[in-house]
Chains A and B, each alone.
Chain A
Amino acid sequence: MNFSILIHETAEVFARRDEPAQRPVLYAPIGAYLQALRDAGVFVGGAGLEGPATATVLSANGTGWKVQDGPFADAKEQLAGIIIIDVPDRERALEWARRFPTQPGRKIELRANLIPPSE
């Protein structure tokens, strides 16, 4: 059963990524976490995302898309990364979500992936 671990972060955490001294602090534990997921055979895929200011937003406007720069929504936390895991149940998924390194200003959302309807 596939689950998505969605990592949301505040502007302050995004800003810290640009400080060279902060980069290993932020990334080293995430690297270890991803490796543990791979070693346990539950890692399906994922990506860390560039900051929300670099986003391009496309909004459907009836006939096509309106293209804009900037963050998708004016929320306190913005999506910073996605990890997809394959585990037997939600309890196991929660166990893995809890192991994601903590950081003040970080929020994790755990959602089950939709199962495509069989034809």
Chain B
Amino acid sequence: MSEAARAVERAARDSRARLLAFLAARSHDVAAAEDALSDAFRAALESWPRDGVPDKPEAWLLTAARRRLIDAARHARVHAQVKPELMAALDDAQVITSDHEHEFPDERLKLLFVCAHPAIDAAARTPLMLQTVLGLDAARIASAFLVKPSAMGQRLSRVKTKIRDAGIAFEIPHEAELAERLDAVLEAIYAAYGSGWDDVAGADPRRKGLAVEALELGALLMRLLPEEPEALGLSALMLYCESRRNARRGPDGEYVPLSEQDVTLWSQPMIEQAERLLRKAERMGRLDRFQLEAAIQSVHAQRAHTGNTDWESIALLYEGLVRIAPTIGARVGRAAAVAQARDPQTGWALLQQIPEQALISYQPYWALAAHLLDRMGRGDEAHAARERAIGLCEDAAMRAYLIRQQD
């Protein structure tokens, strides 16, 4: 690869998201900004080998993309009132790029907030983030979400049209709504990681393959919001789950529940990093959902040193979690922890309080119910609950594990 081609590649890797966020924040049109930016990268591939790599590659790309956006706006039937506004905004971009003293502002946080805006369908938020902030293509995203690439492509372009037509603002939310909006951003990043803690039996992400991308988004959010303890909590949580990746499956791919995992297979560097983040978050003195979830995983991680699990602490942390965020996952997790800390009857009583409608197709509930019923000596009911858990399984290794228990 030539020096120039490497420079283009480096700019694409390091600056694509910042350039896109900057252009989209000014044009309010994510799709048009993406198109303009791809054109700019294509132009760079042609001109840099010929004319040399510019001193400020990012400024060069921004100027080229800005020109394309203006051309596109001229040709498209952009609303008459929007046009002058767009031109003015893009002129700002010109001023910024010609200012050699300063780098252009980082608008990626605004882009993250737009991706998780309440007007956008919750199911589309994570894919949109992966595409705009990390530059993943629709086919890759589609495979992680188990849908057809064409369907994912359509979903993403519908969302971008909505952002443009509804005029969703690229801004950091006001204090009054910041917590709620931030929660949606955290949720969308965590959804990319997979529902680790929902699975009381062993924290196994269902959606494989996006863990690295989710960690990257989490790290970006920490950099953009250094004073936000929940951003630290989310990254810590994902790192604790990630540290157990190699322990989750046996040599033949069989499922290994958390309690039976070989702790020497856990990644201690990841656990240490998670501990550091969690302690830093705790010092900020504002405890919330993701820090609690991370704290639960932190207690589990202690087993590598102490050889046992402090279920009393886990039960207490789940109690706090259920008060803040009474999701079905948290309630099932609390019942499991209480059953371990005290006795299966107390855990079972907590399980019985969960509304039945919510449990119909929630697999971890049935797996836990089978386990507790067994411990209470109610074998027939345990068998029926485990059948239900087997029938609701998506994961082949987990299914095989439950079938082995059934025999």
Contact = CB atoms under 8 A, between A and B. Distances in A.
Interface of A: 28-29, 31-37, 39-41, 91, 94-95, 98-99, 101-102
B147 A41 contact: no
B176 interface: no
B399 A29 contact: yes
Nearest to A98: B394
B361 interface: yes
Contacts of B24: none
11 contacts: A29-B390, A29-B399, A31-B387, A33-B390, A33-B391, A39-B388, A40-B360, A98-B394, A99-B392, A101-B396, A102-B396
B136 interface: no
Given A32-B387, A32-B388, A99-B393, 6 more contacts: A28-B403, A29-B393, A36-B390, A39-B388, A40-B361, A101-B393
Contacts of A91: 123
B146 interface: yes
A70 B264 CA distance: 56
A36 B392 contact: yes
Which residue, A35, A36, A91, has most C-beta atoms of chain B within 10 A?
A: A36
Interface residues of B, number: 15
Interface in B363-406: 387-388, 390-394, 396, 399, 403
A32 B391 contact: yes
Contacts of A40: 360-361
Contacts of A101: 393, 396, 399
Contacts of B146: 94, 98
Contact of B387 (A35, A41, A94, A102): A35
A50 to B, nearest CB: 24
B147 A35 contact: no
Contacts of A34: 391
B396 A32 contact: no
Contacts of B394: 98-99
Given A32-B388, A101-B396, A102-B396, A41 B360 contact: yes
Nearest to B406: A28
A33 B387 CA distance: 8
Contacts of A39: 360, 388, 391
B388 A36 contact: yes
A32 B391 CA distance: 4
Interface in B226-251: none
Contacts of B390: 28-29, 32-33, 36
A94 to B, nearest CB: 7
Contacts of B361: 36, 40, 95
Contacts of B392: 36, 99
In order of increasing CB-CB distance, the 3 nearest A-B pairs are A36-B391, A32-B391, A32-B390
Nearest to B360: A40
A74 B391 CA distance: 32
Interface in B345-372: 360-361
Contacts of B403: 28-29
